[in-house]
């Protein structure tokens, strides 16, 4: 299975142990699912860790190192501009499209409205 986590799911799955997102992440890792991300998604993740959780640079570096054990970083070659209400969400679509992922895991209302790319 090929999967993309949006930033909020990535936060939930990596910071809150025993959350539904964390349990799903562990299950996907055990099943050898491919979980894709981009530099842009990781940059947003880092910004949220700093802004909302007050992690310092050293702590973030450690966390990102752990993420890279199971995330595959890709570089989409084309931009997608489907979500006009929140253009930042398009980076999730770009990652999913370029990685040929079957699933986007998200809580985001803009992404959930799409149902299928």
CATH number reported for the structural domain that contains residue 73 in this entry: 3.40.50.1010
In the chain, the number of structural domains is 1
The H-assigned helical ranges of 1-117 are: 7-15, 20-30, 39-53, 57-67, 90-99, 109-114
Instruction: Please answer whether residues 78 and 94 qualify as being in contact, where contact means their C-beta atoms are separated by less than 8 angstroms.
Output: yes
pTM: 0.92
Q: What is the pLDDT of residue 117?
A: 53
- List the domain range (segments joined by +) for residue 58: 2-114
Q: How far apart are CA 60 and CA 46, in angstroms?
A: 7
What pLDDT is stored for residue 45 in this prediction? 98
At residue 112 the predicted structure's pLDDT band, cuts being 50, 70 and 90, is confident
Q: Mean pLDDT across the stretch 100-116?
A: 87
pLDDT at 108: 86
Q: Residue 116: is its pLDDT beyond 70? A: no
């Amino acid at each position: 299975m090929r999967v993309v986590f949006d930033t909020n799911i990535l936060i939930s799955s990596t910071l809150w142990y025993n959350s539904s997102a964390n349990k799903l992440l562990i299950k996907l890792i055990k099943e050898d699912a491919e979980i894709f991300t981009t530099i842009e998604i990781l940059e947003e993740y880092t910004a949220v860790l700093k802004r909302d959780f007050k992690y310092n640079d050293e702590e973030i570096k450690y966390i990102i190192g752990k993420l890279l054990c199971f995330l595959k970083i890709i570089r989409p070659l084309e931009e997608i501009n489907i979500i006009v209400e929140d253009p930042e969400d398009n980076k999730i679509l770009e990652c999913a499209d370029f990685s040929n992922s079957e699933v986007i895991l998200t809580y985001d209302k803009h992404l959930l409205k799409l149902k299928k790319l």
